[in-house]
Structure 1
Amino acid sequence: MSTPSPTPLKKYAAVGGTRSVWRQALDDLCASPVALGAMVVLALIVLSALTAHWITPQNPYDLMQLDVLDSRLPPGSVSEAQGYTYWLGTDGQGRDLYSAIVYGLRISLLVGIGSAVAAAVIGTLVGLLAAYAGGRVDALIMRVVDLLLSFPTILMALMILAYLGKGVGNVVLTLVLLEWAYYARTARAQALVESRREYVDAARGQAIAAWRIVCGHILPNCLPPLMVIGTLQVARAITLEATLSFLGLGVPITEPSLGLLISNGFQFMLSNEYWISVFPGIALLVTIVAINLVGDRLRDVLNPRLQR
C-alpha cells in the first residue's frame, strides 16, 4: 500500500479528506463579498450567453431580421418596422446592440474557456513529463517553453492568424499554441517540488508505475496553481481575441464578437455615435474584471501565504 499524498491545500489539512478540503476552499472563496459579487456577475454573463436565443429580441446575424432604416439609432429608440425598443441603440447595420452583445459574449467565452482548457491540458502534461523525465528531455522542453515566452504574444498571434486566416477555430488554435507554455512552466516547477517529497520516494520504492505516481500523487498537488493560472488565462484569452478581432484578424464579420463590435463602431466615434463601441466595450470590461477578481480570490484561497 503506497503512502498517501498530502492534501492540495495544506491550510485545510485538518479538515479531513480531499472533498472537505475543496468544500472549505469554496466556502473561503465565497467569504469575500467582492469575489462573491464577481461570481454572481460572471454567472449572469454565462447564463445570458447560453440563453441568448431566448432573451434577445432578434438574432443580430440573421439578415431577415435586420432593417437598414434602423441603422445607428441612439439608445432608447423605438423601431417602427420591428415594433420594439432598442435599449442600447443599433449599429451601422441596424443590429440591436443588446442582442449583438449577448451573442458576442457567447463567442468570446467560447474562445476564452476553450483555449484555456486545451492549453491547460497540453501544458500540464508537457510540464509533468519534463519534471519527471529530467535530463535532456527536461532541457529540450524548457528551451522550447523559454523560446515561446520570449516573443510578444500579440505579435505571434498576428503572424499565426495571418497564415491560418480568420475563424473561431483558428483563433482558439492560435491561443492554445501560445498559452500552453505558461502551464508547462508552472506544472514543471510544482512537480519538481512534489517529486522530492517523501511520499513520492515511498511510492517509487514500492515499484509503482511511473504514470500512477505522476497522475495519482504529483498531479493532484499541482492543481491549485494551475487552476489560478487557468482562471486568469481565460480573461487573457478573451482580451486577445477581442484585440485580434478589432484588428481584423480574429473572428470573421459573419460571427458575433465583442472585439468585432467595438471595431465596427470605432469609425463612428467622431460623429458622436459613441454607443456602438462603448456598450460592447463595457461588456468586455465587466467580463474581464469579474474573471480577474475571481482569479485573484482563488489565488489567495489556494495559497494561504498570500492572504493578509
Structure 2
Amino acid sequence: MTKTAANQPLFLVTGANGKTGSRVAALLDAAGHPVRRGSRTAAIPFDWTDRDTWGPALAGVTAIYLAFQPDLAVPGAPDTIRAFTAAARAAGVGSVVLLSGRGEPEALECEAAVRESGLAWTVVRCSFFAQNFSESAFVGDVLAGVVALPNGDVPEPFVHADDIAEVAVAALTDARHAGEVYELTGPRALTFAEGVAEVAEATGREIAFVPLTRPEFVTALGELGLPDPEVALLDYLFGTILDGRNSATADGVQRALGRAPRDFTEYAKEAAATGVWTPR
C-alpha cells in the first residue's frame, strides 16, 4: 500500500501501464510525489469493470489522472465515468484530470459528467498519438515494412505522449489549471502516409503505406483475430473520427506549458534511436 506523510497529496493514476498513464506516473515519481498506480496488477488493484476495486484504490487519494479504458467512445462509458467520479468525491478526492478524445461526441458526454461531478477538473483532449507507431497499434506493421490503414490522406496533427503527460502533471499539481480544457496536438498535421514516410526516413528502411477502404480494414482486423468490440472501436476511430475534423492544430500545449509541442520528426528520430523499429 502507498504510504504518504500527513497532508502530502497522493495521486491515483489510472491506466498506469498505458502510453500516457505510465508517463504521468513516472513524472510524478521523479518530482517526489506519492503515486498509486491504477491497474489490475497493482498492489491495490484497480479495474474499470470491477467497481469493488474502486473504493480501496481511491482511499486517501487527493487527485486522479483519469484515462479510461478502452476508450470514452465505447457504449456505457459516460455512466461509468459518472459512477467513478461520484465514488471519488465520496472518498474525499479533490480533483481530476480527464484524458478525453478530440472530436468524439461520446467523449464530450464524459467530459460533462466530470464537470458535473463536484470535483475540481481539467480536461486534456487529444486524438492520435505519435507513439501509436512505436508502442502499440502500428509497431508490428512498421517492422513488417507495410502499414495499411484507411483514410491515409486525411491530415492529423499527431500529439506526442510526453506532451500529454507533462500537461496532465501540470494540471494535477497546480490548481491554476482547474477548469481548463486543453486540446493537445503536434505543431503540424501530417497524413498517415506522410507519417509513415517520416518513420521510414528516420529508420533508413523502406516502409510502404497502403490505403485501405473501411471494409478492407475491418476484414484485415478480423483476420488478425481481434475481438469484435475492438474491431468495432478501431473502425469507428478510423472511419468516423479520422474524417478531417481534427486536422487543425490546437494551442493546448502552449497554453498549459508555455512552449511549443514536440514535432513528429523529433519523435520519429527519438523512437528510431531506441531500436524499436529495427527488425530482429
- Structure exhibiting the larger radius of gyration computed from Cα positions: 1
- The one of the two structures with greater contact order (alpha-carbon pairs below 8 A, sep at least 6) is 1
- Normalised to the residue count of structure 1, the TM-score between the two structures is 0.19
Between structures 1 and 2, the one with greater helix share = 1
TM-score of the aligned structures, taking structure 2 as reference length: 0.21
